[in-house]
Amino acid sequence: MKNLILIRHAKSNWDSPSTDKKRSLSSKGVADAHLVSSHIAAFLPKKSIIWSSTAKRAQDTATIFLQNMTYPLESIIFKDELYTFDESELTKVIKSCNNSYDCVIVFGHNGAITDFVNKFGDTFIENVSTSGFVSIDFDTDSWENIGKGHTKKVVFPRDLK
What DSSP assignment string belongs to 33-72?
HHHHHHHHGGGS-SS-EEEEESSHHHHHHHHHHHHHTT--
Q: The whole model's pTM is what?
A: 0.95
Q: What are phi and psi of 97, to 5 degrees?
A: -65, 140
Binning pLDDT at 50, 70 and 90, where does residue 71 land? Answer: confident
Q: Which residues pair with 155 in a beta bridge?
A: 133
The CB density around residue 150, as the number of other CB atoms within 10 Å, is: 14
Is the model's pLDDT at 16 over the cut of 80?
no
Residue 141: CATH number of its domain: 3.40.50.1240
pLDDT at 39: 93
Would the CA dihedral through 160, 76, 85, 116 be positive or negative?
negative
pLDDT of residue 117: 98
Lowest mean pLDDT among 46-50, 95-99, 132-136: 46-50
Based on the structure, what is the number of domains in the chain?
Answer: 1
- Whole-number pLDDT of residue 44: 82
Domain residues for the domain of 146 are: 2-160
Q: What is the mean pLDDT of residues 126-130?
A: 97
